[in-house]
Structure 1
């Protein structure tokens, strides 16, 4: 890329930053952070910073459960976009890709551009870019070509969405990046939909793995928020909630630290609670039948204490034989 191209891009950024801030877009706000907060220069030509192998190993280990939960979704997403010259990156909350999917034929090109595991794509390091700006603003977005802060990144198109862990905390970002010059707006929109679907699958699978012994309930919400999941234990207490469920029900870490009956939380959805009660009653009846009415044996079968099972039986008017 010519020196004049670097200068033109830098002039455009500085002009946008210096314009009236009242109507400043989110993009220009990110450019402002890049220039003022992080003291970056859009004409910087040095390649992105890369972690050592040991640093990358440590970064991956910090989110290993999420990486495991993401494997099938990463494969599925790459099958959808890989044939069009895109690569898939799973980055940690510091903007470092720790998992990647890409075509072998494109490896040399993507490695040269820094679309590789271990490269630091935080906004502080690379200015406005898909992964870094997604994490900084905690929202799904696309940074396309000359929307990047560094001129050397203006041949990239990056579509990224944040991933939240089982406690509702920002944990990672999922990105699809390409160096192709012929990506249409319509295709970029399709990529954004595919990335959003993959994020929901990753969050749901990670949540299930975090609560392996709980019943996972899809909570009905008026806003139909995706991934509003609750983890309910054997005593029908809510022991976990995804970010969407926390937002929908106003749940806080302090709320979840206290016993919270699922029926009380979902009480406004009477039909749903009735279905839940009927399903639980059927489970109790089957356990009793399989145990010949023996409460102790049924409790062992269900993985709950005898006292807990007695309370559940009493709630439904059921009886067993000791």
Structure 2
């Protein structure tokens, strides 16, 4: 990139920072953080710093369950975007990619750009960028070309979304990056949709793996938030909830630290949750019919105790076949 282009980009950023745009623009607010909070220079030309092999192994170990849960979704996402010259990065909450998908033919190019495992893409280190800014603002976003803070990153287009773990904590970010000059707005929008879909699948799979013996149910109102999942154990007690479910149901961390019947938390019987009650009733009816009315066999098939199934049958007024 020419020296003139570097200077012009830096001047544009400084002019925006000194104006009142930061109050109206999330992008300019990020530029201001990059300059005033992190003391970064948009004209600085060094590539992203990188972790040592040992540091990268430790970073991977810290989110190993999430990495396992993400494998299939990363593969599917790459199959959707890899053909248009993009790579897929799964970064930890510190902005370090710990898992990657990309075409071997592009490896050298992406490695030179720092789009590689072990590179540090936190906003504190790199200024405004897809991964770092997504993690700071905890929202899905695209940082396209000259929206990046550092001039050396202005050939990149990065679409990123946050990933929350089974306890509702920010755990990672999923990013699709490209350095294609002809990446259109339409393609960027499609990439954004694909990234969002992959994040939902990763969060759901990670939640299921975190509660392998629990029933996973969709919280009331979950049609608006497909990841509003609740884990219920064999005693009909809520033992976990995703971030979306906690927001919809008003579940606090403290509430999950003591026994809480699913019927109380989910409000079965209220108009707002009648769909969930009907769905559970249908599941119980099918299990009893499949077992020919044998409660013990139905309970075993459902993965709950016989006593719990008896309580549920009584609550819903379901009669055994025999």
* TM-score between the two structures when normalised by the length of structure 1: 0.91
Distance 2:281 2:235 in 1: 13
Over 3 Å counting, the alpha-carbon distance change for 1:197 and 1:271 in structure 2 is closer
**1:218 Cα deviation (Å)?**
1.5
Distance 1:223 1:118, change over 3 A: same
Relative to structure 1, the CA distance from residue 86 to residue 271 in structure 2 (aligned partners, 3 Å threshold; closer, same or farther) is closer
Deviations 1:262-302 (A, max 9, x none): 22314332243033123224435655756xx7x5x776666
Equivalent residue number for residue 163 of structure 1: 163
Cα distance between partner residues in 1 of 2:83 and 2:152: 25
Q: Distance in 1 between matches of 2:130 and 2:257?
A: 35
Return the offset for 1:6.
Answer: 1.2
Q: Offset of 1:304 from its aligned partner? A: 4.7
Instruction: Report the counterpart of residue 115 of structure 1 in structure 2.
Output: 115
Q: 1:171 to 1:304 in 2, by over 3 A?
A: same
Contact 2:22–2:28 (8 Å) recurs in 1: no
CA contact (8 A) 2:22 2:32 kept: no
* In the alignment, structure 1 residue 283 sits paired with structure 2 residue 287: yes
Q: Which runs of 5+ in 2 are unaligned?
A: none
Which residue of 1 is the match for residue 190 of structure 2?
A: 190
In 1, Cα distance between the equivalents of 2:223 and 2:62? Answer: 33
The whole-number CA distance in structure 1 between the counterparts of 2:231 and 2:198 is 21
SS at 2:220 equivalent: coil
Once the two structures are TM-superposed, the CA of residue 145 in structure 1 deviates from its matched residue by 0.6
CA distance in 2, matches of 1:115, 1:21: 30
Alignment partner of 1:121: what SS? coil
> Are the structure 2 counterparts of residues 97 and 222 from structure 1 closer, same or farther at C-alpha, using a change threshold of 3 Å?
closer
Q: Residues of 2 paired with 1:245 and 1:180: CA distance?
A: 38
- Taking a change above 3 Å as real, the CA distance of residues 299 and 144 of structure 1, as seen in their structure-2 partners, is closer
In structure 2, what is the Cα distance between the partners aligned to 1:17 and 1:183? Answer: 27
**Root-mean-square deviation over aligned CA pairs:** 2.2
Deviation at 1:58, TM superposition (A): 0.4
Change in Cα spacing, 1:32 to 1:62, as seen in structure 2 (3 Å) is same
Q: Check whether the contact 2:288–2:320 (CA below 8 A) recurs between aligned residues.
A: no
Question: 2:239 — aligned with what?
Answer: 239
Tell me the number of residue pairs that the alignment of Structure 1 and Structure 2 aligns.
317
Q: Secondary structure at the match of 2:79?
A: helix
Alignment of 1:220-231 (within 5 A): 220-221=220-221, 224-231=224-231
CA deviations over 1:203-251 (Å, ceiling 9, x no partner) = 0111111111111112231771231111111122221111111111111
Alpha carbons 2:214, 2:231 under 8 Å: kept: yes
TM-score of the two chains, using structure 2 as the length reference? 0.91
Structure 1 distance, partners of 2:280, 2:306, is: 22
Deviations 1:16-41 (A, max 9, x none): 00002574300000000000110101
C-alpha contact (below 8 Å) 1:90/1:173 kept by paired residues: yes
Contact 2:134 2:140 in 1 (8 A): yes
Q: 1:13 to 1:285 in 2, by over 3 A?
A: same
Cα shift readout 1:33-78 (whole Å, capped 9, x = no counterpart):
0001101011111111000001000000100000000000000000
Against the structure 1 CA distance between its residues 317 and 115, is the aligned structure 2 distance closer, same or farther, given a 3 Å change threshold? closer
Aligned equivalent of 1:34:
34
Structure 1 counterpart SS, 2:254: helix
Find out whether 1:257 has 2:257 as its counterpart: yes
Contiguous gaps of at least 5 residues in structure 1:
none
